[in-house]
Amino acid sequence: MKHYIFLAILLGSLVVLAEDKTTLNKTIDHLIATVERSKCTFVRNGSDHTPKEAAEHMRKKYDYYKKEIKTPADFIEKCATKSELSGKPYFVKFPDGKTVKCKDWLDEELKKYQQGS
């Protein structure tokens, strides 16, 4: 009987982990899609990049750091905050010329997404 209870708890935990991973992947997909669909310029190491280039760069970093990323905040921190080589922060330049740190912009988008989910 103890084995069945243990097995039920274990299976329940695996289902929760799978759901958490699915939710994490959906959230990260949303953040990357937000970057890709934006009308912004992304500034990385002083160079301007298109939304498509920025999204692709974040996807590559996500693939590299995937094992370390457990939350959407981890994704933003590891993949959208700064250059690993130079340590310089990433920026988002809006069509009106306003510039903010990419981390701040994605943190705000994450809040909106999670409130709407």
Asked if residue 64 lies in contact with residue 57, where contact means CB atoms within 8 angstroms, the answer is no
Q: Is the pLDDT of residue 100 over 80?
A: yes
pLDDT reported for residue 33: 98
In the block, tokens 């590559």 appear at 60
Residue 60 identity (one-letter amino acid): K
Q: pLDDT for 42-99, tens place per residue?
A: 999 999 999 999 999 999 999 999 999 999 999 999 999 999 889 999 999 999 999 9
Q: Where are the domains of the chain?
A: 2-116
pLDDT reported for residue 15: 39
pLDDT reported for residue 117: 61
